[in-house]
Amino acid sequence: MSSSETTYYHDIRKLGINKNHWYAVARSIDVKTKPYSITLWHQPVVLYRDQNRKVHALEDLCPHRLVKLSSGRAIDDEIECTYHGWRFKSSGECSTVPYLANNQKLPTCKIRVFPVQEKDGFIWLFPGEKSLQKVISPLAIPEWEHLNYIATVSVIKSHSHYSYLVENLMDMHHGHLHKNWQAWAAAQLIDLSENDQQVDAYYQAQSYYKIDKIWSISQLFFPSLRQLHPEPLNVSYIYPNWVSNLGKDFKIYCLLSPINETETLAYLIHFTSLHAFWRLHKLPEWFRQFIKKSLFGSAQKLLDGLVQQDIEMISQEQQAYQKYPQRRGYELNRALVSTQRLIKNQALK
């Protein structure tokens, strides 16, 4: 093996997460008054909205017989277990037992409550030390509200450890896999920097799309109009999430919500920038809102297509790891060594 090759750290595939971060565990549109169940790194949580649309997050376990509270229903800001009808306040205390005798007191059980906030279209949960929740912020996604950006969201459900997904996202040489979708080509790693919070990899790549004139939108439908041209392609693993820029026209986020060692939920958010259309920016705000809303999801087919191909590859990696636990892969990309180092350092913090 040459000195430029590096073997994988194999034990990385069993590592947990650093809980002292905000995790995007659901989309805002998924959470209604009907309880919604999620799992973040082995921790089952029930999410629900109260009458003021505020979201609450409690451990998804009824303290009576340990069934799922998410099978029950929300009543105002309380949640009622479906089995015997015990009710719990959003602060976790039991408020009602329907068959409590006159000489009995309410049980003093208290369900674990998680800090939760709704921001940029997602529900963010903080599973760590409560005292740190104010010191650390969820990843900012300014393009979510900004009128110059059109968003598309694709949900990633993969049967693999989250490290395989992060490595996929940091290794831009895998444009090869997506060649039928003409995502990007010929990536070369130019520079790399890292600290204990993030890894930034700077690639130079070729892009097929250039969104600079109104008519250039037609490239999306007619591949013959696309022309390869050089663009910087920067990817960053900002633990626990990922952000990328391809030139000025495209920005992509991946919000990771690992479920356990072999299941990962993530949200890929693709933004197309309308910054080149300066005439559009002079139109009334309500109209620009209307355009932003109407075009939401316009890259759905492309994004879902890319996600499918990635999921297939990282699932195969997971299966191979389980089948041949002693086998080591070979790696040439320095960005992955830094990525694995960050995963390790954060998980073992």
Q: Is 84 in the site for ligand FES (CB under 6 A)?
A: yes
Identity of the amino acid at 43: Q
Q: Is 94 in the site for ligand FES (CB under 6 A)?
A: no
Q: Is 81 in the site for ligand FES (CB under 6 A)?
A: yes
Stretch that binds ligand FES, among 82-90, 166-174, 221-229, 277-285 (CB under 6 A): 82-90
- Smallest distance from the beta carbon of 61 to ligand FES, in angstroms? 9
Looking at residues 295 to 314 of the shown chain, list those that interact with Fe ion (rule: CB under 5 A): 310
Stretch that binds ligand FES, among 46-54, 59-67, 138-146, 261-269 (CB under 6 A): 59-67
Which residue from 9, 83, 144, 208 is in contact with ligand FES, where contact means CB under 6 A?
83
Residues 6+ apart with CB under 8 A from 112: 58, 59, 92
- Smallest distance from the beta carbon of 168 to Fe ion, in angstroms? 6
Residues 6+ apart with CB under 8 A from 77: 50, 51, 52, 54, 56, 89, 90
Give the count of residues interacting with Fe ion (CB under 5 A).
1
Give the count of residues interacting with ligand FES (CB under 6 A).
8
Question: Contacts for 279-282 with beta carbons within 8 Å, 24 or more apart?
Answer: 281/147, 281/148
Cβ(252)–Cβ(154) below 8 Å: no
- Smallest distance from the beta carbon of 88 to ligand FES, in angstroms? 9
Choose the one of ligand FES, Fe ion, none that binds residue 310, judging by a C-beta under 5 to 8 angstroms depending on kind: Fe ion
Cβ(226)–Cβ(333) below 8 Å: no
Choose the one of Fe ion, ligand FES, none that binds residue 46, judging by a C-beta under 5 to 8 angstroms depending on kind: none
- Smallest distance from the beta carbon of 66 to Fe ion, in angstroms? 40
Residues 6+ apart with CB under 8 A from 118: 28, 55, 124
Stretch that binds ligand FES, among 13-21, 77-85, 149-157, 291-299 (CB under 6 A): 77-85
Taking the C-alpha atoms of residue 65 and residue 62, their distance in angstroms, rounded to an integer, is 6
- Smallest distance from the beta carbon of 334 to ligand FES, in angstroms? 52
Q: Which is nearer to Fe ion, 89 or 174 (CB)?
A: 174
- Smallest distance from the beta carbon of 236 to ligand FES, in angstroms? 44
Q: Which is nearer to ligand FES, 86 or 239 (CB)?
A: 86
Q: Is 67 in the site for ligand FES (CB under 6 A)?
A: yes
Would you report the helix, strand and coil content of the chain in percent, each value rounded to 5?
A: 30, 35, 40
Residue 276: phi, psi to the nearest 5? -75, -20
Which residue from 15, 17, 58, 62 is in contact with ligand FES, where contact means CB under 6 A?
62
Cβ(56)–Cβ(72) below 8 Å: no
Taking the C-alpha atoms of residue 47 and residue 111, their distance in angstroms, rounded to an integer, is 13
Q: Which is nearer to ligand FES, 76 or 145 (CB)?
A: 76
193 CB-side CA count, 13 A: 2
> Which tokens is 155 given?
């949900």
- Interface with ligand FES (CB under 6 A): 62, 64-65, 67, 81, 83-84, 86
